[in-house]
Structure 1
Amino acid sequence: MMQNKVYVTVVVPVYNSAKFIGACIESLRNQTLKEVEFLIINDGSSDNSLDIILSETKGDERFIIFNQVNSGVSAARNKGIRESKGQFLMFVDSDDSLIGENCIRYLYEKIISTDADVIAFGSKHVLSNGASFIHNVSKHNEIIALSSNRVAASRKTINNPNYRYSVWNKIYKSSVIIKNNIFFESYSDVISEDKVFNQHFFIFATKAVLVSDTLYKYSVVENSLSHSKNYENVIYRVNNTIERGSKFYFILSPNEKSGLFWPLYLDCLSICAELLYSFNKLPYEEVQIRIVDLLQATQALRIQNDALDSPIWKMTSDKKKNVFFMLLCSLIRRSAYKQAAVVLLSKSRIRMVWKKRR
């Protein structure tokens, strides 16, 4: 790469994306910011993705291509982190694209001017039938001091459904990632690599910015929530997500730990019930037993992160979700595990009925 300065590194994992990668690369190639590097990580594609990549990036020195044996999206992103030279880091999926030729320039100038560690932005979600909708992280631009009150800040960021756990709708300060050794967990070990990554980044970041702009085109794959025929594997991954997502909580005060742990914990339990019952369609009674086992297995970790004298309220920015979480929290704190499992499964049943009626 001839240029000396790299302001922004964009990491693009690619696996058998021949249908989409051309449009993705075009959106990157058209970016007006020159001090940027695009790290294309070909993760052992068996189709003609690599041929398209080589053709579409020819002559543009901002593109650097790496080939590796198929190891999964987390390994590809981690390769990109290790090879990155930019002050800031972005992740783009190979079937998606950036919106507007000034997208990266705008984000770079915004993160420099606000001295933020992370900026989250809006996205356009496109369904397979061509329909689309806009998902905004905020109605207006907002600067959030994370370190002054992490529990309050979490309601506007990691515990705000609009903020999303995705990494593709954000730009990160690279030094926070490198200094604190923040990398992606393997998908075979956790239920959401992005969820754990953002949990870790949040602990060490000091300032976040939400912008109202829509800067990313996301291709929605219907029913993409991962199934696992092996329910033990789901339990294993949920357990790991809870444990690994909270591994840096030891640097927080007791009340901060409680305020951040419970939303992570209860959200993982909800996803667990959804995966086992709604998506894998295991019998109600079997799922109930599995959830109770998980609650018992995570009791020590929960006690470690829960200041019992700390009231848990307004856990997220979603009022309905807060009521649901507060009920679950109350039951679990009293070791009423069977009742907690019933509440989780009742939610899954309601969601199943709602989806059928849509």
Structure 2
Amino acid sequence: MSAISTVDVGGAAPYRIEIGPGLLGDGARLAAQARGRHALLISDRHVAPLYAHGVEAALRAARPDLHLATHVMPAGESHKTLACFGEAIEALAELGATRDATVYALGGGVVGDLAGFAAACWMRGVDCVQLPTTLLSMVDSSVGGKTAVDIPQGKNLVGAFHPPRAVIADTAALRTLPARELRAGLAEVIKYGALGDPLFFQWLEAEREALLASDDHALAEAIARSCAHKAGIVERDPLEKGERALLNLGHTFGHAVEAEQGYSGDGRDALNHGEAVAVGMVLAARLSAMLGMAPDADTERLRALLDAYGLPTALPAGLAPEALLARMRLDKKNLAGRLRLVLWRGIGRAEVVPGVDEARVLDVLAG
């Protein structure tokens, strides 16, 4: 097995992120995270046929005494719902899962968010091991312990902070990832450079061809650097009281787009999460320039990089600015009814800006 990269997340509930190829078949590594005799593997209909059987076999070989069940949910953001959450809870009940049970979340961000939320709620909290299979989930949703489901009024409005027991990212899983999903994950990677690391941003400009070609070394480097950035911020601000909000660069705009499209980004005509974040980052940069906070040249450099990675940089047609603004008013970062957005002073210098003028936001949304 190739060398494994590790990133340690500290704080009150420390855990380790392990990154490398072949980890989903490493039964000893997977089983070491199960403290009790019950484990529920949660996956979806896209990922389960590819990897669930292998993970089950590896766990059973390493822990023959483990009472293991698998729950397969429908795939896609449109199924990150209270109804599907309830089905995951029922699966834990049918297993007879005790307080030392472990939930293994095998899949992308939807599975990780929903399975993590189920683990947070079952008996007021059992262990969750994140097994991300997409680049987006490896660099973002599996790290940090934010779990949630969507409701029609907005994305991730029902959830809990529940740090994982471990994150085990098998980079070999990225070989089966569709090109669109790879690009969506790279949007979140670019975000880390944009919000706080201009040298990483420059590296991403230089390594575009290798990353888009799914070069193992380049992807492992991008994942490790992204996770290290997020781990440092999460450790300092685990409950998003301050600095952690910076990780939402582009997300307030992006989440509004996803909600307005009805979370249908797993189809062809709507943006998926990474694509929506790419558009959101450009909108946040344009707003920053409009407010005199940042140079137009940095907005153009960000737009050019996202465009070079094949990501969208403009709002889809047919979305009303007023409707998007109404969605943005539900964002969890807002205070006292005023918009609180993550903007920037230029590449690598993001900051949280309270009391943003809604008229200026509408101007940006209207193009």
User: Quick check: TM above 0.5?
Assistant: no
Bucket of the pairwise TM-score, normalised by the shorter protein: 0.3 to 0.5
User: TM-score, normalized by length of structure 2?
Assistant: 0.36
User: TM-score, normalized by length of structure 1?
Assistant: 0.36
